[in-house]
Structure 1
Amino acid sequence: MKTRELILVGLFAALTAIGAFIQIPGPVVPFTLQYVFCAFAGILLGRRLGLYSQLLYVGIGLIGVPVFTKGGGPTYVLIPTFGYLLGFILCATVIGFLIERQEKYTFFSLLKCVLPGLGVVYMVGVPYLYVILKYYLSKPISFNNAMQFGFYPFIIQDIVLSCIVALVASRVIPSLKRAGYFQAHIKKVA
C-alpha cells in the first residue's frame, strides 16, 4: 500500500473508534456513530481500503486497546454487540464494492450503495446478539426479543444517518474528484 492509503486506512479506523464514544446508551445496544464512519470508509476508500480500515479498528480493539463502546480485548467477542463490529467490516466492503460500480455519485445512487451496507450490519449484528444472549449468557430470549433490543429502536435513525451520509458524500465526492483525490485508490470495475 502507498503511504496515502495507509494514512486513509488509519484515519477511518480512528474515526470509527471516535464514533464508538459518541453514543446514546440503550438497554443492551447503545446508539453510536460508528456506522457513519464505516459507511464513509466504504464510500471514500472503496472496498479494499474500507475493509482494511474496519479490520484495523476491530483488530486494535481485540488486542486490548479500549476503542469499543465497552472497552476492548480478546474477550470482547463474548459481548453481545460484537456482531455489529463484524458487520462494520462487511458493511464497508459491501458499500465499497457497490461504489466501485457507480457511474454517477448522486444522492440516490449513493443511498443505493449505503443501505445494503446497513442491512449487512443488522444481518450480522442481530443474530450474534441473539446467540450470545441466549446460549452464552443463558438469557431466556427469543429472536424477536433480540430484534427489539438490537434492530427496531435503531433502524429509523440509521436510515436517516444513511441519508445524511449519502447527501454529504454526493456533495464531497465532486470536490475530491476535481482535486484528483477521489478514486486514485479505488480500482474501477468494468
Structure 2
Amino acid sequence: MKLTTRDLTMIPLFTALMFVGAKVSIPFSAVPITFQLFFSVFAGLLLGARNGLISQLLYIGMGLIGIPVFTYGGGFQYIFNPTFGYLIGFAGCALIVGTLAERTKVVNFTKLLGFATLGLVFTYAFGNVYFYMIKNIYVGTPMALSAIFKMMIPYMIKDYVLLIIAAYVSALLIPRLKKAGIYKVKEMA
C-alpha cells in the first residue's frame, strides 16, 4: 500500500475533522449530537474507500490509546461505552461510501446522496446493535433494540440533513478535483 504526499496530508486532515466533529457536540439524551457522520461521509466521498477508512481507523486508534479525541474522552475502556459502535460504524461508512463513489462513472448529487444514505443506514444499524449489546450484556440495563432505533430517529434526521449538504458539496467538488488531477477514480475491471 503506497501512500502519496497528498494521502499523507489528507488522511490526517480528515482524522482531525472527526475530532472536531466529536468535540462540537450538543448533549442530548443518552447520545450527544455530533457531526462525525458528516465528516466520515466526506472522508469516503473525497478520499475514497482506502484513505477514508484509514482516516477513520486512525481516529479510532488515537482515541483507544488514550488521546481524548472522542466526545467523552478516550482510552481503551471506551469500547464499553454504548456509543462506541457508532465509531466503528463511521469507519464502515467511509469504506462503503468511498467504494461506491470510486466506482461511479458519473458523479451527481442524487448518486452521492444515495451512497451517503447507505453509509448512514450502515452506521446506525451497526451502532444501534452495539448499543443494544453493551446496554443489555455489559451494563445489564435491559433495553429493547426497537427502543434504541426509536431513540435514534432525531439523530438520523439531523444526520440526513447534514448528508444532503455533504452530497451537494461533494457533487460540486469531485468534478473539479478530477479535472485538477487530484481525485483519482479506480478503473473498473
Per the normalisation by structure 2, the TM-score is 0.95
Letter in 1 for 2:75: G
RMSD: 1.2
State the Cα distance separating 1:148 from its structure 2 match: 2.9
- Contact residue 61 and residue 67 of structure 1 kept, 8 A: yes
Structure 2 equivalent of residue 87 of structure 1: 89
Structure 2 equivalent of residue 174 of structure 1: 175
Letter in 2 for 1:144: S
Letter in 1 for 2:188: V
What is the count of residue pairs matched by the alignment? 187
Letter in 1 for 2:169: V
State the Cα distance separating 1:188 from its structure 2 match: 3.0
- In terms of mean alpha carbon deviation, does 65-74 or 100-109 score higher? 100-109
State the Cα distance separating 1:116 from its structure 2 match: 0.6
1:51-76 CA deviation, whole Å, 9 max, x = no partner?
A: 10100000000000000000000000
State the Cα distance separating 1:178 from its structure 2 match: 2.2
State the Cα distance separating 1:145 from its structure 2 match: 2.0
Letter in 2 for 1:53: S
- Among all aligned residue pairs of Structure 1 and Structure 2, give the percentage whose two residues are the same amino acid: 45
Per the normalisation by structure 1, the TM-score is 0.94
Give the 4+ runs in structure 1 shifted more than 2 A.
186-190
Query: Whole-Å Cα distance in 1 between the matches of residues 186 and 14 of structure 2?
Result: 19
State the Cα distance separating 1:3 from its structure 2 match: 2.1
Structure 2 equivalent of residue 10 of structure 1: 12
State the Cα distance separating 1:30 from its structure 2 match: 1.0
Query: Whole-Å Cα distance in 2 between the matches of residues 121 and 30 of structure 1?
Result: 15
Structure 2 residue runs without a partner (length 5+): none
Structure 1 residue runs without a partner (length 5+): none
Structure 2 equivalent of residue 163 of structure 1: 164
